[in-house]
Structure formats: C-alpha cells, structure tokens
Amino acid sequence: MNEKNSQTIEVESSLVAPDTQMESFKQARHNRRSELVEDYVELIADLLADGGEARQVDIAQRLGVAQPTVAKMLKRLIAEGYIQQRPYRGVFLTSIGKELARVSRERHQIVEAFLCSIGVSVETARMDAEGIEHHVSPETLEALKKFTATVRA
Amino acid sequence: MNEKNSQTIEVESSLVAPDTQMESFKQARHNRRSELVEDYVELIADLLADGGEARQVDIAQRLGVAQPTVAKMLKRLIAEGYIQQRPYRGVFLTSIGKELARVSRERHQIVEAFLCSIGVSVETARMDAEGIEHHVSPETLEALKKFTATVRA
DNA sequence: TTGGATATATAGCCTTTGCTATGTTATTGT
DNA sequence: ACAATAACATAGCAAAGGCTATATATCCAA
Ligand SMILES: [Mn+2]
Ligand SMILES: [Mn+2]
Ligand SMILES: [Mn+2]
Ligand SMILES: [Mn+2]
C-alpha cells in the first residue's frame, strides 16, 4: 500500500487525508447519477408550463438526443414515480415530480443568476449553469443566493 | 413535433430557444466525459508531488473505487498519451499529462478558494468543488478568480 | 373516413464506468 | 535466497446512457 517512511516529521503536503478526498469523489459521482433525472423533470415542467404539452420529440430536441434515448429515460422516470405517461399526449409530472422540478429549477436559476451577478455573460452563464447546478449543495446554494441578493441591492 | 398555433402573439415563456438550450446540454455532456481524465491526472500529479509515487492502490483508495477500475482507466490514460506506466513503480505523467494536471489543479483550486471566499465552509467547498470544477468555462473561471482576489484584498 | 404525417415503441448495438473473483508477478524482510 | 506480501493483470458481469433502423400506433386534414 505504499507505507514507506513512518517517522516523517510532518512534511508539507498539498494532499488532504485519503478518506476526506474519497468522500468528495464519491459525492461527485453520486451527484452525476441524479443529473439526468433533474434535467428531465425540470425540462418537462418548463414544457408543460409553456405549452401545456411535454412530448418525447420536444424533449429530445431540447436535450439534443435521439427520441429512443428519451423513451428509455421516460421509462425510468415512470418507474421512479416522477412522471406519468398518456399515450400520444405526452408526459405529466406526479406530485413528487413536480416537487423535484421545483427544487431543481430554483437551484438552476439561482446558479445562473449568480454567475451573471459576478460578470459572466448570459450565454456563458447559461452554458455553465447547466452543469454546475447538479454539484451545488444546499449550503453553497444559500451562499450564492445571499450573494446575488446583495449585488442586486 | 407540436406545432399547435402559429399566430401566438409573443407569449411570455420561461423557455429559451430549443437550439440554445440544446447547446448547453451538449456542453454539459461533453464536460462530463472529461471529468474522470481530469481528476485522474490531477490526483496523479498530487501523489507524485507528495510522495514521489502514484500507485494504482493509492489512486483507488483516494478515488474510492476498486483497483481494477483504476487499472482500466490507466490504460485509457496511456492510450490518450497522458501517462506512462513503469511496472511495479507506479505511473508518471507525460508532458501533456503534466500540462493537463496543471490546468486542472489550478482551476480546481480557484473554484474551491472562491467558494470559501463567499462564506462556504471548507468542507463543503472541497466537496462541491470536486464536481463543479469540470463545468467551469474559462470565462467563468476568470470571473471567479477576480472575485476571490477582490475579497482577499 | 381514410391516408399520410407524426409520435411512439422496440430491437439490437456500442461505450463508459463501475464491480467481484481470481491469477500472476515483483519486492522485500528475514 | 526465498517465501510472504503487496501490487498488478485479467476475465466476466452489470447498469447507465447513447445511437440507428425499423415497426406500429394515433391524429388530423382533406
Ligand atoms: Mn437544470
Ligand atoms: Mn443541468
Ligand atoms: Mn479536481
Ligand atoms: Mn473533480
């Protein structure tokens, strides 16, 4: 395991403790596994709010993926209880789907608004927020929200 | 495709243009595919700087994955020219590996320092930065760096 | 009311990223 | 010098997230 020298006298190290670092990596991997679900329900909520319908083809177009890719993911969302599907009428959010969409959209908007508030262009803010949002913890979200409010004032 | 009504008179919509949104999602997916490579070379650089060695077992422990998982990824890193492997002496960075490590570590540190600068605890900053870093564009990175410098001053 | 356009479903394939189990090889302490 | 230990390699599996090609079902306009 690379034990080498046990009596090193507190050498300067840019490395954090192995377990601590491991926790961060595990958290990042965990967040990655929720990304798609969050993006789907948020997008479905927006489509429903906008036009009253959330069809596979629309979802596919906005995500930039093929329709069968969406079909497969919708099955997962149904299995996990986030949406319901009505044949040839698109999909709809369940109550827990609505709740996840609300939380996701709120966090997304806070991240995007924050980026703009520190001088990032709206285009870049939009691009970066789409990925960053999924790795923002509640604590960080609070900090971002407070900061943005301060700047606006 | 959901054409519905063509003479809608500029209805208020929280939705951005489909192509614009698609670009953001595509960028996020693209960033996700570089995450692992970036984390590996950065970690390898830190291990080398710290103890002179970067062994599979150490990498596995710090990432929180199994050793064969690391072995497989190291093959990819070799194939892509980021590292070299010396039997039973661990791995070493090529020049392009060193360069990617430098850039990744720099960005990582800027993101983490920034989070601390807006009042996030060091533990949370470390956790969140591990995921956020991979979705921070050069433009956003500049903004974060400038902001942190301002606060410190 | 019916045929064409549109939407959805399904099959089969691929890559990535993870795992466990197990074999092999190099290093090292005695 | 050599056996024990540690490091590494490999096989085989699975799940997630993509794709294309193609079949089927519904809707709607003429
Ligand atoms: Mn989002
Ligand atoms: Mn997103
Ligand atoms: Mn990093
Ligand atoms: Mn990372």
**Shortest CA–C1' contact from A86: which nucleotide?**
C8
Q: Is A61 helix (H, G, I), strand (E, B) or coil?
A: helix
Window 6-65 of B, Cβ < 8 Å to A:
13-16, 18, 20-29, 31-32, 35, 39, 46-47, 49-51, 53, 55, 57-58, 61-64
Global pTM reads 0.91
> Does A6 have pLDDT greater than 70?
no
* pLDDT at B13 (0 to 100): 63
Task: Write the Ramachandran bin of A52: left for phi over 0, alpha for psi from -120 to 50, otherwise beta.
Answer: left
Q: What is the DSSP letter of B16?
A: P
**What does the domain layout of chain A look like in residue ranges?**
20-152
pLDDT tens, position by position, A65-99:
999 999 999 999 999 999 999 989 999 999 999 99
Taking only the tens place, the pLDDT of each residue in A120-146 is 999 999 999 999 999 999 999 999 999
- Which residues have a Cβ under 8 Å from the Cβ of B87 and sit 6 or more positions away? none
CA B89 to mean position of chain CA atoms: 27
| Among A26, A4, A7, CA closest to B47 | A4
In three-state secondary structure terms, A54 is: coil
Query: Is A82 in contact with A22 (CB distance < 8 Å)?
Result: no
Q: For residue B38, what pLDDT is reported?
A: 98
Q: State how far the Cα of A98 lies from the Cα of B140, in Å rounded to an integer.
A: 31
* Contacting residues for A1 by C-beta, under 8 A, at least 6 apart: B57, B58, B61
Distance from CA of A98 to the nearest CA of B (A): 16
Helix axes B18-51, B56-63, angle to 10 degrees: 130
Which CATH fold would you assign to the domain B20-152? Arc Repressor Mutant, subunit A (1.10.10)
Cβ of B121 and A139 within 8 Å? Answer: yes
Q: Which residues touch strand D (CB under 7 A)?
A: A 1-2, 33, 35-36, 64-66, 68-69, 72-73, 76, 87-89; B 29, 55-57, 67-68, 71-72, 74, 85, 87-90
What is the pLDDT at residue B152? 73
Q: Is the CB of residue B89 less than 8 Å away from at least one CB of chain A?
A: no
Give residue A12's pLDDT band: very low, low, confident or very high (50, 70, 90): low
Token pair listed for B65: 């994955």
